[in-house]
Structure 1
């Protein structure tokens, strides 16, 4: 009888132990929990991350790690656990590292990987950034265009359209004039020599080179000691007039170099022939 009672007691202990094992394992898995205040966020919203630990370890902070859908690190923070065994932190949805739409993973780790928990939240993606167009360097009034930065003003008259802007192209030694030509018309520009000019190496005036939508056109010009006034005709639909001042076209530079080389060779040849002709013959 006693042996039967012993077997029964051992069996009861074994059953109780087996029944308690899952409960103990569940407690181990819940040594730390983490959650967010919402399931999804839009750009600019505040994400509140909170959690709680089962056991308090003095001097050990919580590491809260947020990763993007592609696995890239978005943020990491070290948070102290309160005396009530709870922790909390906040972050703003969006930013340079948080642009993609999708599920983001929040991992809270308390000392070791065995004491960690995860949760997720959805992010709607960063809004497309629209960059406003840069303002023209010129300010256009009814009769004048200010080049800005104290670079002077250009007077103008236009028929058949509207002058939109004048922008200097320093590299090309030119002025780019934007127009809206509603019909055939003409544009007269009074350009101070301090703004743009076309000069020969001798200092004398050279001609400007004028293009309307990339095509060379004829123009009339009046010249003074301080200004050069150009009148340029255009057709309906024209959008851009380029006025090119003192410069060297690459093709012209090459031809000029070839002509100079031929001239030098010719001079050398003539000089050599002249020296030979004056040498005494024996």
Structure 2
């Protein structure tokens, strides 16, 4: 009987000590999580992951601001966290270092307009060694508030007050220029991936297209069928030039011709007026 009582007392004492130790461990790990199992689970998750990283949305437009927040489990005094952003082509477009506060938290904001290509971006956060890192991804899309390209509608080229439709994959057209010296039309593009551009040029704009240049070099991947041209390009391409036997005069040239004709008219009228006055006297 005495032995049973002694064993029962020993068991109760052991359970009491285990419960006290467990409660002490919970309170030490998360003093603010008392009686809150959800908060305790979140805190345990943060402590288990060396670097946690969040963004405000999975999709951003180019007019938006990208907000990055995160947390490190074990703070190293004076050590910053390194943020890197990789664009859809795999190029490094941002490197930044952020301070970590006394709670292990960090935060920063970046303008999405500084990243020119739509697509999937990767944000990486590294704290010290590569074993303590994390990453998230988001999609960057065209801003709905952006003005139509060069004053025409969407997917239309503006060349000397004419709007010419085109199709493009893997990039976007950012500008147009008439090069009268080369009898060519030059398109500025932002190519975030390999793709192709197809344009049907009116003969009034350019005629007898006989070759195409990509980034200043003659393209071997261009298909010319009369006034219809299809050009293949690689990621990072910046310009495509279409060369023909004749090109529409630039607005500046037309304006100069009009100005010259106007000046001649003024001279003729002035001369006639002076002659009329002389005849009267």
Q: State TM-score, norm by structure 2.
A: 0.39
- Bigger-Rg structure (1/2): 1
Q: Which structure features the higher share of helix residues? A: 2
